[in-house]
Structure 1
Amino acid sequence: MTIASQKPLAVGETTPTPTKTFRFGELFSGPGGLGLAAKSASRNGFEIVHQWANDYDADTCRTYAANICGDESDASVIRQDIQTLDYDLLAAQGDIDGLAFGFPCNDFSLVGERKAFSGKFGPLYSYGIKALKKFQPEWFLAENVGGIRADGGKVLKVIFKDMIEAGYRIYPHYYKFEQYGVPQARHRMIVIGIREDIDVEFRVPSPAPHVGADVSARTALANIPAWAKNQEQTKQSKVVVERLGYIPPGGNAWHADVPDHLQIRTKTKLSSIYRRLHPDKPSYTVTGSGGGGTHIYHWDEARALTNRERARLQSFPDDFVFLGSKESVRKQIGMAVPPRGAQVIFDALLNSYAGIDYPSMEPSMVNMIPEA
């Protein structure tokens, strides 16, 4: 953390609050949802600035670099598989005061088979722990899906134990982002950690200030400007158009009105298959899927949403441009953390450092923190 020098005071001028800048590093950065939220957060002279980021996907790295750094080729965004990444490459970009790692959620998801630590992605959280031990940032933010709470919290207790043993007090909470102004029912487990020697207590921000916010899909998708990028339409077959004609807002392929010849013949009936948005409610969870009827579908028009519309549901601003093919962009948007919701958390963190009071609540997952 750096403290900026102050200009000499004029006669009668009071001493300003020192500006504190937290240098921010990210693992599993995605296209920049957390990066944008951190960059946008600014409270009482405290700010967070990008230092470095890492992801394995080329388009994702380009998107992050273009929007967060201003240059899609920025060297501080390192494309490499975390499992082979030399952390000295990150260190060469500079020290950090804050770290985020939204480790992949595939093996902890409630959708499909849960493999936890035995899967390909489950052990990847350990690379975040490795970074905590190497860089010793003042604070960290770790993010994963709600399904990680399954099996009585056995997986979480192991992860939390590792975070604590790395030298941090942790504040885990299950956030429902639609309660924080995001037009999407996206639920995530997020842990804020503060290094043990730092005399700061984080408090989970309450959703109370956001009660009454319009998080409807109708409002979220209204008035998208013609200049906004990523608006390519997805072609719908005649069968899909016909099927959607029988599905009401909020309904899906299993709706009773869908005639026999248009019904889906699968053993598993996922609720997201040909599911249409309800215009007066938040969207269901935006994912990176697209095939087999897993696009998000408009409530009135017989079509899938454009990527820009999906980005709107994720609370990205219209000037945030995703780079890559239409399919690549769809995946990037689906993997991202909603910046509007994440900024609420970063704002709370900065307020905690500044000693500023704000509406808060008890962390919802403290019962899963292992005893010392």
Structure 2
Amino acid sequence: MIFRKGELFSGPGGLALGATSASVLDASGEEFRITHEWSNDYDESACSTYRRNICGDIEDPSVIWGPVQELDIKSLSPIDALAFGFPCNDYSIVGEHKGMGGEYGPLYSYGVQVLKHHKPKFFIAENVGGLQSANEGKAFIQILKELSEAGPGYNLTPHLYKFEEYGVPQKRHRIIIVGIRKDQGVTFRVPAPTTPEKYVTSKEALENPPILEFAPNHEFTKHNAKTVEMLKHIPPGQNAWYEGIPEDLRLNVKGARMSQIYKRLHPDHPSYTVTGSGGGGTHVYHWDEPRALTNRERARLQTFPDEYIFEGKKEKVRQQIGMAVPPKAAKIIAEAILKTFAGVEYDYVAPKWIFEELVKQDKVLQPV
């Protein structure tokens, strides 16, 4: 049983790597797996990364570079599964909180269009935790409602996954919505955390095994002398606002003080969330050495293997890594979906939300 997967907002292929790595055997020995069919992203470097690593061909035409608004959805080849991590810019708790009123907020609707036309058997949609509160919670319910009603209709299981509970060495919390076409006769359940009590630490991720000196995307950042000195005074787990920093080395910043600015990792805990954008102080900092992490190290925290080569200039690579779904978490979710279709039992937990209950709480959906 092969599920051909289409993907929107595919980025560098974190979700795809996890999904295509998953494989399940049913009681009769039949294999259930997911294969790449086509994908789309607006970022040229991310498309090159996806082609190289997921397709094995830097020229593969099945990876379509360009704005999703220009994608001819009806001309795309048939699929059995859809994945889309629709842009989170307008739903993030960091930023202007524009929600549906922003440039990126409505882009989920292209996933809805694919569901309506191609009618895949299942889909996986991903976004930041801030989606649940955007537009006073109306956006989340509207998106779920449109996904549920698309095409032949889908049974939804939305959940807030804490990826550190699934073996990812990073405190990264994301909403994942799994939809199963209603006529499939199966019910998806949220896979139980695999590392609920002993998280993988930053040190374990970055030092076991050590990163080879000439590993791809392992360029070090050149810091000015003042930044290096400041970092030397920041203990592991602390940030630029640590009171032990000498006065002459402190940042002259007024207003809000973001907790992640020049925050150093703690070797005995998972990393804080790796981001794909931001200026000085947002690059994630080593607990022992007074420096920012390399892109290869950030990729380790996102669970990309060292042989996964990211295309593009250094900042483009950083963006790709920070925006990606951790492959390790994606594989666990994909395996649970495959087990659902294969009739294979697995440990599960209750979802954070029940779609039908959310709708009951908000029977009259107002425009958002």
Give the TM-score of the pair, scaled to structure 1.
Answer: 0.91
Residues 1:37 and 2:34 aligned together? no
Give the CA deviation at 1:241.
0.3
Report if the CA contact (8 A) 1:160-1:370 is conserved.
Answer: no
Q: Is the 8 A contact 2:88 2:127 kept in 1?
A: yes
Alpha-carbon deviation of 1:75?
0.3
Query: Shift of the alpha carbon at 1:226?
Result: 3.4
Q: Residue in 1 aligned with 2:366?
A: none
Q: Distance in 1 between matches of 2:278 and 2:219?
A: 14
What is the deviation of 1:65? 0.6
2-structure distance, mates of 1:273, 1:157: 33
Structure 1: where are the runs of 5+ without partners? Answer: 1-19
Partner of 2:204: 219
Q: Which residue of 2 aligns with 1:239?
A: 226
Deviations 1:141-185 (A, max 9, x none): 000000111155221100011011111110000000000000000
8 A Cα contact 1:161 1:369, kept in partner: no
Distance in 2 of aligned mates of 1:27 and 1:220: 29
**Counterpart of 2:195?**
210
Does 2:342 correspond to 1:354? yes
Distance 2:344 2:275 in 1: 36
Structure 2's unaligned 5+ residue stretches are 26-30, 364-368
Deviation, 1:225, is 2.4
Secondary structure of residue in 1 paired with 2:184: coil
How far apart, in 2, do the equivalents of 1:302 and 1:296 lie?
11
Q: How many Å separate the matches in 1 of 2:195 and 2:69?
A: 39
Shift of 1:253: 0.5
What is the rounded CA distance, in whole Å, between the counterparts of 2:162 and 2:9 in structure 1? 21
CA distance in 2, matches of 1:135, 1:174: 27
Deviating more after overlay: 73-82 vs 149-158: 149-158
> For 1:119 and 1:33, how far apart are their aligned partners in 2?
25
Whole-Å Cα distance in 2 between the matches of residues 111 and 160 of structure 1?
23
Q: Deviations over 1:285-338 (max 9, x none)?
A: 001125221110000101000000000000001111001111110000001000
Deviations 1:226-277 (A, max 9, x none): 3420000010110100110111101000111122222221312011110100
Instruction: Confirm or deny that 1:278 pairs with 2:262.
Output: no
2: CA distance between counterparts of 1:278 and 1:298?
Answer: 8
**Contact 2:165/2:199, CA 8 A, preserved across alignment:** no
SS in 1 for 2:269: coil
What is the aligned partner in structure 2 of residue 99 from structure 1?
82
The one of 232, 237, 246 aligned to 1:250: 237
Quote the Cα distance in structure 2 between the aligned partners of 1:211 and 1:292. 33
Tell me the equivalent position of 2:179.
193
Amino acid at match of 2:127: N
- Partners in 1 of 2:246 and 2:133 — Cα distance? 37
1:1-372 aligned within 5 A: 20-44=1-25, 45-89=31-75, 91=76, 94-150=77-133, 152-166=136-150, 167-207=153-193, 209-222=194-207, 223-264=210-251, 265-366=253-354, 369-371=358-360
Provide, for residues 59-116 of structure 1, a one-character-per-residue CA deviation record: whole Å limited to 9, x for no partner: 0000001000001110000001011222144x1xx21000001000000001122000
Question: 1:133: how far off?
Answer: 0.5
Distance 1:60 1:139, change over 3 A: same
In 2: Cα distance, 1:189 partner to 1:214 partner: 20
Question: Partner amino acid for 1:110?
Answer: I
1:212 and 1:267 map into 2 onto residues whose CA distance is: 37
Instruction: Report if the CA contact (8 A) 2:199-2:269 is conserved.
Output: no
CA positional deviation for 1:213: 4.7
Contact 1:54 1:61 in 2 (8 A): yes
In 2: Cα distance, 1:121 partner to 1:211 partner: 33
Contact 1:160–1:369 (8 Å) recurs in 2: no
Give yes or no for contact 1:60–1:332 (8 Å, CA) kept in 2.
yes
CA gap of 1:169–1:140, structure 2 versus 1, over 3 A, is same
Q: Tell me the distance in 1 between the aligned counterparts of 2:342 and 2:89.
A: 36
| Aligned length, in residue pairs | 349
Between stretches 288-297 and 164-173, larger displacement belongs to 288-297
In the other structure, the counterpart of 1:15 is none
Distance of 2:180 and 2:218 partners within structure 1: 40
Identity %: 55
